[in-house]
Chains A and B, each alone.
Chain A
């Protein structure tokens, strides 16, 4: 198929709708359900494992299909695999992300979907965007990054 990057926004809108449908139907936009998975105890709820357990093989199939193509359907590039770099950034970042996730039971996808309900998402989402912006400042300032994380970029 010819390159049609002008159609990207339509395809990704459909993708976002499907993604939101999945998050809401699976209960992942209910923080107490996510916290019921993250909290060890008698009322532990393993549902989140099944959500990932279903999403991963579906996307793995898509990736297997795409991997051997020259380009995606609307043109562009088949994404490279990230280099297997294991450093303080990866472990510290993922670790801190998990702490934030465990505090409120909210990760980025459900946070954006929850904007539909107003209320608490109006605190969470701006703070999350500030965190993202801050990470860029730190990453762009090698001296800061080295001091904070001990990583030499």
Chain B
């Protein structure tokens, strides 16, 4: 466990929780990123969705300015990224959420659906990544 970074993980996780808390306490909306993206694709998308996404990108730009290593960008090949992106987008909407909507917001509201979804995507994610290591080294 050479790469285990408990302090940044706990601090960063707290900030993620605070960001989601600001959203739900002020607007009553859930900080599920795939759901917000889905809503942003609609005509007349409410501005709050677009500004949330703008906050994410601006946050990334600021982080890169301070410490470029924190946002190194996605380094996999183009084909891999397209396949992964399609599965992530399609799967998240079919399943009603992703690591944020189910994993953080739903689980913190003790939603049984979110617990089932989280266990499921953790399991298939671990299987996929571990198999990929075995097969591709």
Q: Which of A54, A77, A82 contacts B9 (CB 8 A)?
A: A54
Q: Are A94 and B95 interface neighbours, CB within 8 A?
A: yes
Decide yes or no whether A118 CB sits under 8 A from chain B.
yes
Decide yes or no whether A116 CB sits under 8 A from chain B.
yes
Q: Which of B38, B52, B63, B64 has the most CB of A within 10 A?
A: B52
Measured in the bound complex, the distance between the Cα atoms of B96 and A28 in whole Å is 21
Q: Are A117 and B64 interface neighbours, CB within 8 A?
A: yes
Q: Are A78 and B96 interface neighbours, CB within 8 A?
A: no
* Given the contacts A62-B21, A132-B41, A136-B38, A119 and B120 also touching, CB distance less than 8 Å: no
Q: Are B19 and A17 interface neighbours, CB within 8 A?
A: yes
* Given the contacts A16-B56, A54-B9, A57-B108, A97 and B16 also touching, CB distance less than 8 Å: no
Residues of A within 8 A of B113 (CB): 82, 84-86, 90
Q: Are B82 and A96 interface neighbours, CB within 8 A?
A: no
Q: Are A29 and B132 interface neighbours, CB within 8 A?
A: no
8 A Cβ contacts from B103-131 to A: 103-113, 116-118, 120-130
Shortest Cβ distance from B107 into A: residue: A56
Q: Shortest CB–CB separation between residue B101 and chain A, in angstroms? A: 9
Identify 13 new A-B residue pairs, CB closer than 8 A, beyond the known A94-B95, A127-B81, A131-B87: A45-B3, A55-B17, A58-B21, A79-B28, A90-B117, A98-B124, A109-B33, A114-B74, A119-B74, A123-B74, A127-B84, A128-B37, A134-B86
Closest 3 CB pairs of A and B: A16-B55, A20-B59, A26-B12
Contacts A/B (CB < 8 Å), 24 sampled: A8-B29, A20-B55, A20-B56, A20-B63, A25-B63, A26-B16, A43-B3, A56-B107, A59-B105, A62-B24, A90-B120, A91-B95, A95-B91, A96-B95, A97-B94, A98-B120, A100-B87, A101-B84, A113-B71, A117-B60, A124-B88, A131-B86, A135-B38, A135-B93
Chain A residues at the B interface, C-beta cutoff of 8 Å: 7-31, 33, 35-36, 38-41, 43-48, 50-63, 65-66, 71-74, 76-79, 81-82, 84-86, 89-109, 111-121, 123-136, 138-139, 149
